[in-house]
């Protein structure tokens, strides 16, 4: 057989080389070669092994202009490929020019008429070989094959025998096809109808690839591609009653989606009645799971083509503005504002995902990213900005020592305890009197210094701001003067008779806001008690988001069904000088009582921490809500807190917050807003609870400008939920998270001050500085009085040797969870618990419980009244524009220069896109003790992992990103060399690990986190001096602790309040605190990579 094929090929070579080519002989020889290869496998193998033999066939294909010879040779080559991919690879390796020869042959064959068989076999061969040839597209373009293919499609629109292989070849070269190809494809698609499914699928696949190119999409639109696809979609929707051609129908919508990327495509889609058609197709298919992807693409088309409609507000700015020009430093403030505008813009949401449930998550605190609603950990060396070695390190102090001393000596009253003589130590009462006397002298010096400096925020100017007990006797008069209601139809006498307290009323009346408030909300008056059991995360239904998007589209299709009644308008109230009275609401209520329909709801947000700008009733029980941006900004719409009245029990109301800006939210992962019922609070003692159903968060049709922080994101987002009120005519409140107001904090500080006094605790509450609006920023100092009788106790640390712990919270006003953590910490640290006593014996605490009171009071989410994110101002804070940050940094600088540098600094925050509680810290400096410092740095997070069931060490990050260089954590680490500088993040949502996996976080859990933070500080002292466990040993220890908690809670109802983990405590002396075991460098120690629980 091999000798036969050899002789045939030799004969063919001679015939080709001869001057007179005898076509009959050549036809006969090539036919014999074809027959031999068809019947003999050895012959095929022989031909593949000999590249010279294949060359003879290719030369014949190029030089003999005869159709029959061409058919014989191409059929012979086709027989060589029966071995599949291996044969193709071998053939291409032997003859790299074979695809070029076949392309030339196809170009020649296209010039002959009625040669369908040749075109079919050549196209088939090119499809098989071209898939493995990376240069096939270039060869086709240079040879003019693209034009040939376009002509073949035009000439054979109904010749389906030729169309199939031609379409396969076009598919291979789809991106490089000519304009005529699109025209031909649309003509073929129109002719296919509901028959010729294979041809239709090939055409749709090719067109899907082609229209991904914008120019091709424009050409398709100009060739009536929109109407063609619409007609085809309707036809197949009627024909495919059993849903067997889902992929084909999905391809039609995918092409439509690409065509509507262009402006012309959107216009023609609207002109072709596309909204109504696609909407109806989606509605008919919405309940069928098999058509989920089809409906998803349909909703994307509808959203993309939705007419551009601006937000229903006149101005993107907050309707309430705070004038920075009242300060001497207004010019400087304007410069700072302009310089920082871009830096404070929310650039974290840079990806625009249209798919339902898609998540491109980086967080509200912008410390890290989150892609799945859970967490991502950066590596330890990600963008690390390393510090010099400790031998060369000199703290960066930006103010003179004399300036710092004069400014902040008064805020270290415990120094008087350290300098007290022994006879005073024996009598704490005399000691306190002496300290108070000295403090008065220091305060006078500070007041004198402040007046010279012209700083209106100095704490010495605060003494006459708020009256004492005399002011509290005129609550009713003040409330009447300010037109301030205590609540719905509740006067002071009835409030007190029901068990209320006047403290919150006093504090609310002395709280200064930019906009006048109209009432003290009921949650402030009657307080909050956490539910007895943990509330599970909401299970989300997969079709909810699509249904709500389709309902939004319905507004365009059926505009006559939309009411568009403005129910609440803060802008209008401000323009009218806040003259809207209760009589107007009464008129609305009376007009609705005579109607058969359900009355409209009444809203209000003009109270402390409230945020609601406008409410529009769009359909029966559906309302669109708009939030205020932060004052003096056009962005940061996230925090909401408002009152609802005039509801009907059992009716399902839908609320749509339509100007959210983040591109994903934990509302898509089971989180619910919090709800407060006045009736339940008064009669049943129920406080804030999680509520709401059908919750989803999705991109809407309102365009977002660059001025509003749009950047790469072109639209706002909608947070939608359904709420069913439990009682008629109740007064209810809805909020993003459990509110914690400035007035509540002041009442709480008064309470713990009394507790501290009863427990003989050293507790100092000082007026640290004034905010821009004139509210007081408090500084707390907490420790135990020195005890002369315990100097021989090894566990006792003298006050002069106690390390400092500096804590702060609520620099971002919308992060109310940080205040609940701080509340739990303060309650515990001032208690008579044994651990609390040990804690006060071990440390001196400097605490600022609320760094941004103005933002909290006025319902901001992230910024102060200057429009700045105060956690991005730590490098160079301005004394007038950022007073709380300026003075807190100055206080810590003063502590450093007098040798009282904080052992731990921690700033409490909230995290909107991740679950659990975790910390951010900074990578240790580069020096010989790097491993020692790393061990000390990780001691606190490890301790918190052991003592708190909601803390996640795996979510912690120890990287320093350059974009975070102006945060408190990084600045204090980098400039003042505070190694243990942390940010502790608490989730708004819930937990995805441990015994509380799948449950919401509540105020009890947050307060317990503050309590466990204190225990972690004690536990840290033990962890910081022992050799670090390896990864496996640490995991075993953590698992053991978790098992103990699990067993303890197995017989009780799940409640984060009962989750504390006990441990044995070792209190080292000061030398031990900063030392490490001598065997730390031993080869048996675990490597750094093993110490990372998340590695």
Q: Would you please indicate which residues are annotated as catalytic (active-site) residues?
A: 985
3-state secondary structure of 674: strand
Provide the token pair at 34.
């074809």
Contact 101, 61 (CB under 8 A): yes
Contact 661, 638 (CB under 8 A): yes
Beta strands in 871-979, from DSSP E residues, in sequence order: 904-911, 917-920
Half-sphere exposure of 509 (CA within 13 A, CB side): 23
Provide the token pair at 707.
């001025």
Chain centroid offset of residue 1087 CA: 34
Pairing mode of beta strands 674-677, 652-660: unpaired
d(CA 815, CA 336): 24
Chain centroid offset of residue 400 CA: 41
How many helices (H) does the chain have, and how many strands (E)? 43, 20
d(CA 325, CA 1035): 57
The order of strands in the sheet holding 917-920 is 761-770, 776-784, 844-848, 804-809, 904-911, 980-987, 917-920
Phi, psi angle pair for 196, to nearest 5°:
50, 55
d(CA 150, CA 355): 35
d(CA 391, CA 589): 74
Provide the token pair at 1002.
């509540």
Question: How far lies 12's CA from each of 44, 95, 262, 616, 896, in Å?
Answer: 17, 18, 57, 86, 96
Residues 6 or more apart from 241 whose CB is under 8 A from it? none
d(CA 678, CA 893): 47
Dihedral, CA of residue 1061, residue 1066, residue 1070 and residue 1071, to nearest 10: -120
3: nearest Cα among 51, 28, 36: 36
Helices 41-49 and 2-17: angle between axes, nearest 10 degrees: 50
Contact 636, 346 (CB under 8 A): yes
Ordered alpha helix ranges (H), 802-842? 816-829, 834-842
Dihedral, CA of residue 395, residue 399, residue 405 and residue 407, to nearest 10: -130
Secondary structure letter of residue 158 according to DSSP: S
Dihedral, CA of residue 937, residue 938, residue 942 and residue 943, to nearest 10: -10
- Is the torsion defined by CA of 84, 88, 89, 91 positive or negative? positive
d(CA 881, CA 899): 29
Per the rule left: phi > 0, alpha: psi between -120 and 50, beta: everything else, 270 is: alpha
């Amino acid at each position: 057989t091999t000798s036969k094929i050899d002789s045939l090929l030799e004969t063919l070579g001679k015939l080709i080389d001869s001057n007179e080519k005898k076509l009959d002989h050549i036809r006969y020889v090539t036919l014999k070669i074809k027959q031999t290869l068809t019947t003999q496998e050895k012959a095929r193998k022989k031909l593949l092994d000999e590249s010279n033999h294949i060359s003879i066939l290719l030369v014949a294909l190029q030089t003999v202009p005869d159709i029959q010879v061409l058919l014989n040779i191409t059929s012979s080559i086709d027989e060589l490929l029966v071995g599949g991919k291996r044969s193709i690879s071998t053939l291409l390796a032997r003859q790299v020019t074979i695809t070029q020869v076949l392309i030339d042959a196809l170009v020649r064959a296209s010039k002959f008429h009625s040669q369908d068989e040749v075109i079919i076999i050549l196209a088939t061969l090119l499809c098989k070989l071209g898939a493995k040839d990376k240069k096939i597209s270039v060869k086709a373009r240079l040879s003019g094959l693209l034009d040939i293919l376009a002509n073949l499609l035009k000439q054979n629109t109904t010749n389906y025998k030729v169309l199939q292989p031609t379409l396969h070849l076009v598919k291979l070269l789809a991106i490089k096809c000519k304009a005529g190809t699109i025209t031909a494809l649309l003509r073929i698609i129109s002719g296919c109808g509901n028959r010729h499914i294979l041809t239709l699928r090939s055409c749709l696949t090719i067109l899907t690839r082609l229209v991904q190119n914008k120019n091709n999409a424009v050409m398709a639109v100009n060739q009536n591609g929109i109407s063609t696809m619409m007609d085809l979609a309707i036809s197949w929707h009627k024909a495919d009653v059993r849903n067997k051609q889902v992929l084909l129908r999905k391809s039609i919508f995918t092409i439509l989606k690409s065509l509507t990327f262009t402006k012309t495509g959107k216009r023609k889609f609207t002109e072709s009645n596309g909204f109504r058609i696609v909407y109806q197709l989606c509605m008919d298919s919405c309940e069928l799971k098999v058509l989920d992807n089809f409906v998803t693409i349909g909703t994307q088309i509808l959203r993309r083509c939705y007419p551009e409609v601006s937000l229903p507000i006149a101005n993107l700015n907050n309707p309430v503005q705070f004038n920075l020009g009242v300060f001497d430093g207004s010019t400087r403030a304007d410069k700072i504002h302009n310089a920082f505008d871009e830096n404070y813009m929310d650039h974290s949401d840079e990806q625009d995902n249209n798919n339902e449930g898609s998540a491109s998550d980086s967080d509200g605190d912008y410390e890290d990213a989150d892609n799945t609603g859970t967490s991502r950990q950066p590596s330890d060396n990600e963008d690390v900005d390393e510090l010099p070695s400790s031998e060369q390190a000199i703290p960066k102090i930006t103010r003179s020592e004399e300036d710092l001393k004069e400014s902040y000596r008064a805020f270290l009253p415990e120094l008087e305890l350290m300098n007290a003589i022994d006879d005073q130590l024996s009598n704490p009462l005399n000691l306190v009197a002496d300290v108070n006397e000295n403090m008065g002298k220091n305060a006078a010096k500070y007041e004198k210094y402040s007046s010279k400096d012209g700083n209106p925020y100095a704490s010495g100017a605060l003494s006459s701001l708020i009256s004492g007990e005399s002011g509290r006797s005129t609550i009713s008069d003040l409330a009447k003067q300010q037109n301030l209601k205590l609540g719905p139809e509740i006067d002071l006498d009835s409030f007190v008779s029901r068990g209320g307290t006047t403290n919150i009323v006093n504090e609310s009346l002395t709280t200064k806001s930019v906009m006048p408030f109209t009432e003290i909300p009921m949650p402030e008056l009657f307080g909050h008690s956490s539910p007895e059991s943990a509330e599970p995360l909401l299970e989300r239904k997969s079709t909810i988001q699509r249904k709500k998007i389709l309902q939004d589209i319905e507004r365009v299709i059926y505009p006559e069904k939309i009411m568009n009644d403005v129910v609440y308008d803060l802008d209008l109230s401000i323009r009218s000088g806040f003259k809207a009275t209760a009589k107007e609401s009464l008129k609305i209520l009376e007009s609705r009582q005579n109607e058969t329909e359900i009355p409209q709801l009444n809203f209000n947000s003009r109270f402390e921490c409230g945020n609601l700008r406008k409410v529009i009733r769009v359909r029966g029980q559906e309302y669109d809500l708009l939030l205020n941006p932060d004052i003096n900004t056009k962005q940061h719409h996230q925090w909401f807190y408002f009152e609802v009245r005039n509801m009907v029990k059992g009716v399902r109301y839908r609320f749509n917050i339509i100007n959210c800006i983040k591109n994903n939210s934990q509302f898509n992962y089971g989180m619910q807003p919090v709800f407060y019922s006045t009736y339940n609070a008064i009669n049943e003692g129920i406080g804030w609870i999680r509520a709401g159903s059908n919750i989803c968060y999705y991109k809407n049709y309102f365009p977002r400008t660059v001025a509003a922080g749009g950047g790469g994101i072109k639209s706002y987002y909608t947070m939608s939920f359904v709420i069913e009120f439990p009682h008629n005519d109740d007064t209810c409140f809805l909020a993003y998270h459990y509110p914690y107001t400035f007035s509540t904090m002041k009442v709480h500080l008064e309470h713990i001050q009394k507790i501290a006094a009863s427990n003989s605790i050293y507790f100092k509450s000082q007026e640290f500085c004034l905010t821009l609006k004139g509210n007081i920023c408090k500084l707390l100092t907490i420790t135990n009085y020195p005890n002369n009788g315990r100097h021989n106790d090894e566990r006792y640390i003298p006050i002069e040797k106690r390390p400092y712990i500096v804590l702060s919270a609520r620099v971002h006003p919308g992060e109310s969870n940080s205040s609940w953590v701080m509340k739990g910490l303060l309650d515990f640290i001032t208690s008579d618990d044994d651990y609390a006593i040990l804690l006060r014996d071990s440390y001196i605490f400097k605490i600022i419980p609320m760094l941004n009171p103005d933002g909290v009071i006025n319902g901001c989410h992230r910024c102060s009244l200057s429009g700045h994110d105060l956690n991005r101002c730590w490098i160079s804070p301005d004394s007038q524009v950022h007073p709380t940050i300026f003075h807190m940094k100055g206080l810590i600088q003063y502590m450093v220069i007098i040798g009282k540098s904080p052992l731990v600094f921690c700033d409490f925050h909230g995290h909107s896109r991740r679950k659990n509680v975790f910390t951010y810290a900074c990578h240790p400096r580069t020096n010989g003790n790097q491993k020692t410092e790393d061990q000390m740095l990780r001691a606190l997070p490890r301790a918190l992992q052991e003592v708190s069931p909601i803390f996640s060490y795996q979510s912690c990050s120890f990287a320093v990103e350059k974009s975070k260089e102006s945060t408190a954590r990084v600045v204090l680490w980098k400039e003042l060399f505070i190694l243990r500088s942390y940010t502790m993040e608490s989730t708004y949502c819930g937990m995805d690990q441990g015994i509380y996996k799948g449950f919401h976080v509540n105020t009890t859990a947050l307060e317990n986190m503050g309590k466990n933070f204190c225990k972690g500080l004690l536990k840290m002292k033990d962890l910081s001096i022992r050799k670090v466990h390896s990864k496996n040993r640490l995991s075993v220890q953590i698992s053991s602790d978790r098992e103990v908690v699990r067993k303890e809670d197995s017989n009780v109802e799940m409640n984060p309040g009962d989750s504390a983990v006990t441990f044995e405590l070792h209190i080292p002396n000061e030398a031990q605190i900063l030392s490490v075991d001598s065997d730390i460098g031993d080869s048996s120690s675990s490597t750094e990579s093993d110490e990372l629980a998340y590695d």
